[in-house]
Amino acid sequence: MKKGRASHLKTKTRIVIELCGVDGVDMVFAGQTIEASAAPDPFIMANLTQKFLIGLAFAGLLGIFVVGVLTGAAVIGWKAALRAGNEAATLQNLKTIAAVEIQYYNAHNRTFGTLDQMIKERLLTSKFSGNPPIADGYVFNLNIVPKTSSQPTSFTLNADPQNSATGKNHYYIDSSGSTIHVNRDEPASATDSALGE
């Protein structure tokens, strides 16, 4: 492109905006002056303000909704984690009590002990005291069957959640072995499926 032609295009497409006084803005475009009023149209401003406020309200409601959803998810997650922690601790408590019962059995003329007797001998901590004892969100029920001339002594141990917030599963173990039985709906027994089946 020739130098003279580029200069000619610049001149034809030149737009000049000048600020003229306080009352308005004059625009010079292709040799014609267009005056713009300094005061905006009240109808247009009201419409823009209304749209802005509606947008702001919508953004606020959306923010509240998002915070609510996140808070709800956090609470649900926390409750699920609490239940899972209680259930894991209860399984360990059942194993501990069953192992301590074997120690007590071997040291006390082949008889099993109550929770209070094992606490008194410091085989268990006071965590298992109470009537009924409650530990880690679970209620423990230990039943000792004394030995008779026809049968040896035995025990059954149930652990049931205090309520639906502290646990879901009901557990059972007895003196016949170390298998823990589980039931999701009611107190477990030896006829329920073994844990992990």
pLDDT of 35 reads 54
* Pairwise CA distance, residues 107 & 115, whole Å: 15
Q: What proportions of the chain, in percent to the nearest 5, are helix, strand and coil? A: 45, 25, 35
Please state the domain extents for the chain: 53-183
Model confidence, pTM: 0.63
pLDDT of 44 reads 66
pLDDT of 169 reads 96
Amino acid letter, 108 = H
- Render pLDDT for 15-66 as a digit per residue (tens, 0 to 9): 444 333 334 445 544 555 555 555 556 666 667 677 777 877 777 888 887 8
pLDDT of 68 reads 78
pLDDT of 15 reads 41
Residue entry with tokens 């309520």: 163
pLDDT of 36 reads 53
Q: pLDDT below 70 — which residues of the chain?
A: 1-46, 48
